[in-house]
Amino acid sequence: MNRVAACFCKAPWLNPPLALLVLATLLSGGAWACEKSLRWDDDPPFSLLLADGSVGGIDVDLNRAVLARLGCQARLVKLPWGRALKELELGRLAILPGAFRKPERERYAHFSGALLPPSRNILFMHVDALERWPVSRLLDLQDTPFRLGAQINVSYGPDYQQLMGREAFAGRVALVASRESLWQMIDKGRIDGIIADERSGVYEIQALGLGERIKPSAVVVSTEAAEVAFSKRALSPAFVATYKAALKDLVDDGSYARIVPRYLAP
């Protein structure tokens, strides 16, 4: 056995199947430079700027740990969501956590599969709107003057897509790049509510001091599990396979469960 093979077969952080996948990638001429671009943005608790000036968050810490297990490091790139998808398509961004699998994205991206627990997207509303529209489903708002805010190029599930197919409703939807802008729009009375990940929404309204005026509603818009997306232009299928195996190991050995509580409060 050559020196490279011996090194990877004895690596304590790789189970045998994963070690063989890594080794196969290296020996086939597909060895990667040990730096991969990883998207982040102001999206707590999944990615955020910490008090000490560093970048952290559930997705950032988890994907850094995966890369470390593969002998690589992350080069963090701050991008709004819509731009991140375009950079992934062009091959200028390698790894995009928190993505939902859609046919148009599968043209340019590999996906990790639903290895992480699903998270809920829910409707957050101004307290006045909650009293005015005590609804249980997003579709209950279709014939009302409710003004919704949403982020550009973000997937919110089938009920949202159905509503956006109605011209009258879609005309009242404010589409912006930044979720922080949407929270401020609710506070100023320009919109009535937005859809956000349950954890992100609670974190952000508390951090912005808006917890008394904006509340989570009972409307669950989607419970789809997000995946990690990989640029087909930037990464080989062999690398993606090793990445997926390492990600599964981190979930199975409890590493992911230990990361999550670090970021559940502002």
Question: Over the stretch 76-133, which tens digit does the pLDDT of each residue have?
Answer: 999 999 999 999 999 999 999 999 999 999 999 999 999 998 888 999 999 999 999 9
**Predicted pLDDT of residue 153:** 84
Q: Is the pTM of this model over 0.85?
A: no
**Predicted pLDDT of residue 16:** 54
HEC per residue, 162-177: HHHCCHHHHCCCEEEC
Question: Over the stretch 223-233, which tens digit does the pLDDT of each residue have?
Answer: 988 899 999 99
Phi-psi bin for 139: left (phi > 0), alpha (psi -120 to 50), beta? alpha
Question: Over the stretch 157-216, which tens digit does the pLDDT of each residue have?
Answer: 899 999 999 999 999 999 998 899 999 999 999 999 999 999 889 989 998 999 999 999
Domains along the sequence of the chain with CATH: 32-117+225-263 (3.40.190.10), 121-222 (3.40.190.10)
User: φ and ψ at 36, to 5 degrees?
Assistant: -130, 135
pLDDT, averaged across the chain: 88
Adjacency order of strands within the sheet including 148-151 = 174-176, 148-151, 193-197, 121-126, 214-222
Crossing angle of helices 237-252 and 16-25, rounded to 10°: 160
Q: Are strands 174-176 and 148-151 parallel, antiparallel or unpaired?
A: parallel
